[in-house]
Amino acid sequence: MKHSILTTACLASLCGTSFAQETAKAPTPPAVKAVETEQTKLVAENALQAEKLKKELTEIRARVARLKLEKEALAEELALAQLKKQKATEAADTEFHLKQKALSEAAELSKQEAAHAQNELKILQAEWGMKTTKLEGEIAALEAQKKRDEYANAKPVYLENPLKDDGTLVISDRRISMNGPVTMATADHITARINYFNNKDSKQPIFIVIDSSPGGSVMAGYRILKSMEGSNAPVYVVVKSFAASMAASICTLAEKSYAYPNSVILHHQISSTIMFANLNLTQQKEFYEESQQWWKRLAGPIAKKMGISTEEFIQKMYAKTTSGDWTEFGTEAQKLKWVDHIVDRIHETSLLKNPDAQKAPAPTAMANGLKETVDEKGKPCVYLPRLTPKDCYFLYNRDGYYRMK
């Protein structure tokens, strides 16, 4: 459109020039003059229009140039902004990578330090482990030595004739303790061990060692006597302190018996005063007859060993004391044949472990199943177990320590 306006203006200008030249040559008629005037006017208008168009074109060009400059400026600003952004991004990326690298290096350093610390810890643990193992080994050695020191450097001594010429009785580990009242539990304890020792060796002697026993159940005592008689291995009885009633009978009727000079042995008749409650005369008579049968079975062999009759045995009891409790020390008991041998020393070869090394046992029932208690008055006592039918207690009990419920 701009080019068509410029072309029209140029043509109008050329036509006007040629027309003016021609009219100058000859007089122009009025009509023609009017036309020429009109043409001149048109040319002027065209020229004016052309100038306007030129001006507008110049303004447009200027605006286009300004817009172009603005566009270039904006492009430069955008490029600058992008460059700044790119630089900022690159800087951020660089900083991020640097930080990441620093963190990685720090992490690697920490990892190495941790590994180093762990290695040092392992070394310390190994050193402590070696020290601990060494200490544990030393402790184990000390404990083993301590345990070893608890045992004597000796072995039980087995002698077919345990009494030496110097008056020393040598007791092996084939020994059975019998202390306190003789009960069925006592009989179970002793007879089982007599059987065991026989099965182990039927020649070496077995020792029933009485520290102190007041006697007890005649049935239980009779079981012990029969087990002693039936044993292939000889069963010897040793009284260290006191044996009365049933315990004294076991001592006297043993194949061989031994006692200290000051050991006390007591024989008396069977007594029923501690066991009857409410018995009529017939029952008392029956019980007396049964007791007499037991007395004959126990006192008869004792009197026979003494070389006297049962009646003489009873007479001597009451001739000695009004209560009939015939008590003698070991030396006198030997003369009466209540005990066979008096010994000055007893060598317990079975005691191979230090008794002080053992923990004190908690209070519990005795081997015979009994346990000491106190009565309603606060006096110590031991309640005897209920007897089986036809049994009776052959027991020395002057102070009433042993009782029945």
Give yes or no for a contact between 169 and 340, defined as CB atoms under 8 angstroms apart.
Answer: no
The question of whether 18 is a catalytic residue gets the answer no
User: Distances from the Cα of 109 to the Cαs of 115, 116, 394, in angstroms?
Assistant: 10, 10, 93
Give yes or no for a contact between 342 and 261, defined as CB atoms under 8 angstroms apart.
Answer: yes
d(CA 349, CA 155): 7
Give yes or no for a contact between 264 and 328, defined as CB atoms under 8 angstroms apart.
Answer: yes
Beta bridge partners of 395: 215
| Backbone angles phi and psi of 255, in degrees to 5 | -60, -45
Catalytic residue, chosen from 217, 231, 249, 268, is 268
The question of whether 309 is a catalytic residue gets the answer no
| Backbone angles phi and psi of 100, in degrees to 5 | -60, -40
d(CA 240, CA 265): 10
d(CA 27, CA 264): 199
Give yes or no for a contact between 232 and 198, defined as CB atoms under 8 angstroms apart.
Answer: yes
SS3 of residue 326 by DSSP: strand
User: Distances from the Cα of 41 to the Cαs of 5, 20, 32, 38, 134, in angstroms?
Assistant: 18, 13, 14, 5, 133
d(CA 147, CA 124): 33
Strand 380-383 to 372-374 pairing: antiparallel
Beta bridge partners of 264: 242, 329
Catalytic residue, chosen from 245, 249, 257, 263, is 245
Which positions are catalytic? 245, 268
